[in-house]
Structure 1
């Protein structure tokens, strides 16, 4: 009986080790204490608004495999809606000119479609390189209720893909159970500059043959300096600390 149990244990160990080598699935999420500031417009005339700080969430799933030439895939949904107020003077947005107290509501939620290759990966150090096709469904709405004196609202939206360079790395702090990680996406051309970067510490809370559970703490920053995407102009910054977990099967 002991021999059978030992053989079964060895077989299961071999199976899970091979399964992890063949393919790895990652599922995670984080809560982000987002601090926000920014300016908006439908032309080069940008207006700064006092934006609300809020807690936002991000969720992701990734698949890694050993197939040559075929990139690994990571999907990440990002909550990034915000609103704010400003006392404006002759601010033109869309077809309306605003004066006085004015509200902006920006829906900047998006899906990251990340395709990447593992350039280097061992127990101490890893580095990934690829592209992030950030699928955006953005909408910026400006409104006020004291014009003429009736409620007035204008919306400018953009639906499309923002292609970005993607880079990620992770370094193990030997003997501590901690890893240092950093991840970022960036694009810059003409008057556009967009980045999404984070860095922090990872602690392996559970580590066995079936599942790994990591706790992640760090800092994340996003910047959208966008000029004329379907008449959408942004100059916004979002940053703050985050806490999250990730399962690896």
Structure 2
């Protein structure tokens, strides 16, 4: 993990030397209503179990600060709700967190991978036609993975920090109020990986010197593959369309 953090931090520092600063102080705030289709499996120790996860609606909120100070990175914080529930009837014996469950047992599952992203980034390009941001993100996960039979719940905490690379690209469509954009947070360590990718189109509802208001329609995919991270194994995917609103002061 230390090697990964170093590998992410050093390029970010080098990028700072060539980064462009905002001409004035800018504050961005936004939120997204996300309709997710969820799939995957999780377990501990010996093997994982698939569950028929229900589709859910998730929320995401963020605030970003961009400033005119050269070399000092911009800052963004984003809160991501990430929960789902499922149920399965075991086709074979399954052990989770030291407790065994026999074939034929009906197990309910609860997944909570809600997390907060803290991002430091530089604006490599910044104009109406092309904007490119590069940086690093620290994902603070505060969740749990649980199963429940007819008698009791059995859960493992999913807490910790995950460093990822960060990139955002925005392309303005000339002579329109439309912008295409894509954003990614991703990392891979040994057999574990985290991928958070989204793309969409943005329409400028309000464009004035005081405030900009943007309507967003996009698609987001979060996949979390863990291999013996605090005895947790997982391959869980949340994906689907979202509707968002962003205001820029």
State whether TM-score is above 0.5: yes
Aligned with residue 118 of structure 1, among 120, 123, 148: 123
- How much does 1:68 deviate? 1.6
- How much does 1:117 deviate? 0.4
Aligned equivalents of 2:59, 2:46: Cα separation in 1: 31
CA contact (8 A) 1:44 1:233 kept: no
Match of 1:55 in 2: 57
Aligned equivalents of 2:59, 2:195: Cα separation in 1: 18
- How much does 1:215 deviate? 0.2
Q: How does 1:98-117 map to 2 (within 5 A)?
A: 98-99=101-102, 100-117=105-122
Question: Which has the larger Rg?
Answer: 1
Aligned equivalents of 2:175, 2:163: Cα separation in 1: 39
Q: How does 1:8-19 map to 2 (within 5 A)?
A: none
Aligned equivalents of 2:54, 2:73: Cα separation in 1: 38
Match of 1:68 in 2: 70
Aligned with residue 96 of structure 1, among 96, 99, 104: 99
CA contact (8 A) 1:142 1:153 kept: yes
1:155 paired with 2:160, answer no
Aligned equivalents of 1:36, 1:184: Cα separation in 2: 19
Give the count of matched residue pairs.
225
Q: Output one character per residue of 1:57-87: Cα deviation in whole Å (capped at 9) or x when no partner.
A: 1000000012122111111100101110011
CA contact (8 A) 2:46 2:95 kept: no
1:36 paired with 2:38, answer yes
Match of 2:137 in 1: 132
CA contact (8 A) 2:56 2:83 kept: no
Q: How does 1:138-217 map to 2 (within 5 A)?
A: 138-145=143-150, 151-217=151-217
- How much does 1:153 deviate? 2.2
Give the unaligned 5+ runs of structure 1: 1-19, 146-150
Greater percentage in strand: 1
- How much does 1:47 deviate? 0.4
- How much does 1:96 deviate? 1.0
Aligned equivalents of 1:65, 1:44: Cα separation in 2: 50
- How much does 1:44 deviate? 4.5
CA contact (8 A) 1:44 1:227 kept: no
92-101 vs 180-189, which moves further:
92-101
Q: Which runs of 4+ in 1 moved over 4 A?
A: none
